């Protein structure tokens, strides 16, 4: 409801958006719960199956709404991706690992159905910001979540923006309630995963982030390098926690070079067919 729209939701509503892209499906069902819904965005003018990008929003695992991320979805679709944003259960309706299971189910659904919407199910990018970055890394690299779901072989890369990857023992309210109540321990941390077969990662973080400290990205990037896996670690001097999300939006890209850094990284891994995507705002 409009009256319940968050500050980010109002910004998303008022923000001019990339042209040449549109939402082609809304509230598609990927599971039995009320929040098991996803939206799909696509660029105009694609001449072949598009690589697919599944974006997980943040919100501390207790909030978030896919409809408030249309600016981000259209920005990512403008890069030449069939872009999917899925809702997932959050606290208090879900704690670890239930929200991760939802995110993994969404990835499984996307690989099964992407072709119906012009996507290439063999080329999947998992991306997220903040808590969503944690979700993306876990879904893409935790083999426990991948059992019984058919998406692991399709994941070409993982994008983590300002994500928490090393936060055990839990010492703040948001992690205590979403993880501690489940008895989750070190196995819940991305830095403790077996990354020997992990997809390439793009990990970006602002040095001025006071919500999720830079050390999280530094630790995960180091773990990737120790496992012999490809990782691009990018630090943006002075950037805040929100900056790595806001700088994807059309009129805020001046804040950081993140959008072009991300485009360069992803294009090298998933070359796109020609798309007539205009970057002017809508």
The string of pLDDT tens digits covering residues 161-183 is: 999 999 999 989 999 999 988 88
Helix 98-113 vs helix 131-141: angle between axes, to the nearest 10 degrees? 60
Q: Say which residue the tokens 């040095």 belong to.
A: 207
Query: Contacts for 186-194 with beta carbons within 8 Å, 24 or more apart?
Result: 188/96, 188/97, 189/165, 190/134, 190/137, 190/138, 190/141, 190/163, 190/165, 190/166, 190/220, 190/223, 191/165, 191/166, 191/219, 191/220, 191/223, 193/137, 193/138, 193/141, 193/142, 193/223, 194/143, 194/227
Query: Which CATH code fits 2-269?
Result: 3.40.50.1820
Residues 6 or more apart in contact with residue 178 via CB below 8 angstroms? 60, 61, 62, 91, 95, 96, 99
Please determine, for residue 255, whether its predicted confidence score (pLDDT) is greater than 70.
yes
CA–CA dist 160, 195 (Å, integer): 15
> Is residue 39 a contact partner of residue 23, using CB atoms and an 8 Å limit?
yes
Tokens of 96: 């670890």
pLDDT at 1: 40
Question: Confidence band (pLDDT; 50, 70, 90) for 273?
Answer: low
Domain ranges of the chain: 2-269
Residues 6 or more apart in contact with residue 38 via CB below 8 angstroms? 27, 28, 30, 66, 84, 85, 86, 87, 106, 109, 110
The string of pLDDT tens digits covering residues 138-153 is: 999 999 999 999 999 9
Q: What's the mean pLDDT in 34-45?
A: 95
CA–CA dist 63, 266 (Å, integer): 28
Please determine, for residue 2, whether its predicted confidence score (pLDDT) is greater than 50.
no
The string of pLDDT tens digits covering residues 46-92 is: 778 999 999 999 999 999 999 999 999 999 999 999 999 999 999 99
* Maximal C-alpha separation, the chain: 50
115 C-beta neighbours (distance < 10 Å), count: 14
pLDDT at 181: 81
Strand partners, 206: 236
Tokens of 214: 């830079």
The string of pLDDT tens digits covering residues 200-254 is: 999 999 999 999 999 999 999 999 999 999 999 999 999 999 999 999 999 999 9
> Is residue 244 a contact partner of residue 236, using CB atoms and an 8 Å limit?
yes
CA–CA dist 269, 97 (Å, integer): 30
SS3 203: strand
> Is residue 93 a contact partner of residue 65, using CB atoms and an 8 Å limit?
no
Closest by alpha carbon to 152, among 162, 142, 160, 161? 142
């Amino acid at each position: 409801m409009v009256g319940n729209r968050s500050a980010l939701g109002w910004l998303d509503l008022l923000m001019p958006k990339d042209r040449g892209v549109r939402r082609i499906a809304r509230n598609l069902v990927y599971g039995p719960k009320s929040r098991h819904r996803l939206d799909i965005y696509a660029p105009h003018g694609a001449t072949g199956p598009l690589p697919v990008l599944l974006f997980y929003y943040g919100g501390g695992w207790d909030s978030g709404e896919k409809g408030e991320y249309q600016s981000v979805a259209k920005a990512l679709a403008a890069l030449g991706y069939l872009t999917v944003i899925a809702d997932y259960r959050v606290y208090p309706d879900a704690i670890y690992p239930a929200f991760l299971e939802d995110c993994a189910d969404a990835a499984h659904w996307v690989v099964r159905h992407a072709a119906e919407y012009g996507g290439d199910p063999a080329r999947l990018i998992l991306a997220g910001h903040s808590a969503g970055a944690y979700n993306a890394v876990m879904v893409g690299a935790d083999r426990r979540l991948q059992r019984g779901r058919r998406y692991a072989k399709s994941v070409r890369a993982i994008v983590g923006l300002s994500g928490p990857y090393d936060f055990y023992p839990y010492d703040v309210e948001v992690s205590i309630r979403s993880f501690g109540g489940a008895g989750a321990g070190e196995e819940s941390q991305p830095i403790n995963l077996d990354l020997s077969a992990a997809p390439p990662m793009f990990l970006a973080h602002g040095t001025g982030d006071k919500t999720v400290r830079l050390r999280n990205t530094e630790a995960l990037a180091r773990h990737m390098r120790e496992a012999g896996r490809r990782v691009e670690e990018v630090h943006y001097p002075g950037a805040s926690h929100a900056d790595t999300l806001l700088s994807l939006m059309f009129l805020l890209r001046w804040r950081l070079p993140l959008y072009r850094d991300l485009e360069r990284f992803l294009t090298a891994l998933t070359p796109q067919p020609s798309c007539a995507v205009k970057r002017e705002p809508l």
